[in-house]
Structure 1
Amino acid sequence: MTRALPTPPTPERRQLWRSRLYRWDSKGTPYAFVAPFFVVFAAFGLFPLLYTGWLSLHQVSLYHVNQARWVGLGNYRDLFTGAPSRFFWNALRNTVTLGALSTVPQLAMAIGLAHLLNYRLRARGFLRTALLAPYATSVAAATLAFALIFSPEGGMANWFIHLFGFGRVDWEAGRWSSQFAIATIVTWRWTGYNALIYLAAMQAVPGELYEAAAIDGASRLRQFWHVTVPALRPTILFTVVISTIGATQLFGEPFLFGGQSGHQGGADNQYETLGVLMYDQGFHNSMLGRASAVAWTMFALLLLLGLVNALIARRLRRSQ
């Protein structure tokens, strides 16, 4: 018995199949290109976010994750009004003060450095590259180096202030001294990065504005205040937002600054931030639910700050 051979496809069927493949390729290829991002984001961004939200509504031990007990908003009530509330409000206050101590000088010096580098100086390329060296340094290396600088025994900071007749300072023990030291680390790491952002924005300012100001007799200082700064408003707002977010999430510097003495956040929690409090609740106290509540509180705080900055940006655009 002979088997019938398959009928070869007709040119019309081949053309129809090719047109379908072309449509599938044109529609599916863009999704295939962006799919890796969404897969990675879902695995390492969205899932942890939702999971910590679920944990914040449960009482969960680090060593018994499968034995979660529903408490609703109990973890949040404990943070705001319960026994741990003093640690939370202390960490929130430290986060705000550390953010102010590091963000304001950081951005002010960044604008000044960018203004200097905007002129035709010698070795401008080297100077611009050198500005990124602190940013390229790891948090651990920078913090441990500055911990030695601010060491109460033989530290360079105490040696320097001794030249002006001041006594020895235990930088880690005091609230303001420790926060000043940590703010110095943050300022050192991020000033150059922000300076390059400001420099790029300054180079986009039309030169005709400076020529017109010079013809009107404006000095370089007046040109800076009346031409450069108004042109940098969107960039300044952007750096303020980024610096505020970074200050709210500050963890590495306060965590490692007291590492040599064994006190993450300070012996009296004098420089414990929200990030350090979250770590302490989760890994030292084995309370993952309360640590997740701290994380979601930080997330809500960042959303609030972003909304405030968006309103300020809208008002600035209307005033221009």
Structure 2
Amino acid sequence: MTAPSRTGPGPRRVRRERLGRLRSRSAPYALIAPFFLLFGAFGLFPLVATAWTSLFRVELTAPEAREWVGLHNYARLLHDEFFWNALFNTAAIGVLATVPQLLLALGVAHLLDVRLRARLAFRVVALAPYATSVAAATLVFALLFGRDQGMVNWALGLAGIAPVDWQNGPWASKVAVASIVIWRWTGYNALIYLAAMQTVPRELYEAAALDGASRWRQFLHVTLPGLRPALLFTVLVSTIGATQLFGEPMLFGSGAGASGGADHQYQTLGLYLYEQGWVNLHLGRAAAIAWAMLLILAVVFGAARLLRPVLRGRGV
């Protein structure tokens, strides 16, 4: 008699197939696991730890000696004139820096989009300020805006304008700090706009030209709609950067440090956080300021998202 033939796969083959399916299913998770591990260690954990610390009265010199205060650190901010001053300075410098910066970036991108000689060299020059150290750029601008021997006041004197105290004036100091931000980030945003401009189909420009549209109308009705995603991205990033502004005002004033001038005239939220946590050593208050900055950004972007349908209905 002959032995019966096996109709199904052997146990080893079944195990290999199961292992193969398991590997194919787990491979994507294994590939993205490093990101989530790093994000959890350096992003999520500090965020949660900061929120927990903000509920205590704790000093940086003795972080183990904690006293539970609940939301007292947040309630204190509502009556803290220095916090509101820093919030106003942050908003003012943010507007003074972001609006001209994005408008200039649009103009630079439009110029780079046309056929110019040495376009690559111009793009490198536009990106050079972004690659410059914050400390080096700020120290140079501090010299330019010097009250007695600064080149800006020298140029104003040639025009018959009296010298301006750029470091101590309430609004002059904000303009000076904003100019550093404009210089550093205009080229970066211009290259983003340039990349977005080059994705707009050229057929749209040709059709608009055949309809008799001028270059200005082509820019308004063809270029800007194509740049909407890039515009939203740069506004988002610029707003976050303005809220976190720290290096430029920190180094601008000679000896002012975290106070942001003698009268706190350009102290931002980032400087106030640093002053509370690492100068006054109030770690719980600094943590509350950090979370207040996050909540402010969430409110701003939430309001902007709610207004989007209204603006779209009006054709904006």
- Give the CA deviation at 1:34: 1.1
- 2:292 match: 297
Question: Which of the residues 239, 246, 264 maps onto 1:244?
Answer: 239
Q: Following superposition of structure 1 onto structure 2, how do residues 165-244 of structure 1 map, counting pairs within 5 Å?
A: 165-244=160-239
Q: Which moved more, 1:224-233 or 1:287-296?
A: 224-233
CA distance in 2, matches of 1:20, 1:215: 63
Q: CA 1:313–1:123 in structure 2 vs 1: closer, same or farther (change >3 Å)?
A: farther
Question: Which of the residues 60, 78, 95 maps onto 1:100?
Answer: 95
> Where does the alignment leave 5 or more consecutive residues of structure 2 unmatched?
1-8
Q: Which moved more, 1:308-317 or 1:177-186?
A: 308-317
User: Is the Cα–Cα contact under 8 Å of residues 237 and 309 in structure 1 kept in the other structure?
Assistant: no
Q: Which moved more, 1:159-168 or 1:210-219?
A: 210-219
SS at match of 1:173: coil
CA distance in 2, matches of 1:165, 1:65: 56
* Residue-by-residue CA offset, 1:57-86 (whole Å, 9 max, x unaligned): 1000001100110001110111112xxx11
User: Is the Cα–Cα contact under 8 Å of residues 251 and 273 in structure 1 kept in the other structure?
Assistant: yes
Q: Which moved more, 1:63-72 or 1:198-207?
A: 198-207
- 1:56 match: 54
- Give the CA deviation at 1:316: 5.2
CA distance in 1, matches of 2:143, 2:293: 31
Aligned partner letter, 2:257 = H
- Give the CA deviation at 1:134: 0.8
CA distance in 1, matches of 2:292, 2:127: 32
Q: Which moved more, 1:236-245 or 1:70-79?
A: 236-245
Q: State yes or no: 1:14 paired with 2:12.
A: yes
* Paired residue total: 306
CA distance in 2, matches of 1:165, 1:106: 28
Q: Percent identity?
A: 58
User: Is the Cα–Cα contact under 8 Å of residues 237 and 313 in structure 1 kept in the other structure?
Assistant: no
User: Is the Cα–Cα contact under 8 Å of residues 234 and 313 in structure 1 kept in the other structure?
Assistant: no
Q: CA 1:315–1:125 in structure 2 vs 1: closer, same or farther (change >3 Å)?
A: farther
CA distance in 2, matches of 1:311, 1:117: 35
Question: Which of the residues 34, 37, 40 maps onto 1:39?
Answer: 37
CA distance in 2, matches of 1:30, 1:60: 43
- 2:3 match: none
User: Is the Cα–Cα contact under 8 Å of residues 91 and 273 in structure 1 kept in the other structure?
Assistant: yes
Q: TM-score, normalised by structure 1?
A: 0.91
- 1:6 match: none
CA distance in 2, matches of 1:231, 1:34: 32
SS at match of 2:182: helix
Q: Which runs of 4+ in 1 moved over 6 A?
A: none
Question: Which of the residues 257, 261, 265 maps onto 1:263?
Answer: 257
- Give the CA deviation at 1:21: 2.5
Q: State yes or no: 1:281 paired with 2:309.
A: no
CA distance in 1, matches of 2:137, 2:233: 25
- Give the CA deviation at 1:232: 2.1
CA distance in 2, matches of 1:301, 1:61: 25
Q: Which moved more, 1:94-103 or 1:169-178?
A: 169-178
> Where does the alignment leave 5 or more consecutive residues of structure 1 unmatched?
1-10
- Give the CA deviation at 1:140: 1.4
- Give the CA deviation at 1:162: 1.4
Aligned partner letter, 1:26 = S
CA distance in 2, matches of 1:219, 1:68: 67
CA distance in 1, matches of 2:251, 2:10: 71
Question: Which of the residues 21, 24, 29 maps onto 2:22?
Answer: 24
Q: CA RMSD in A?
A: 1.7
Aligned partner letter, 1:310 = R
- Give the CA deviation at 1:193: 0.9
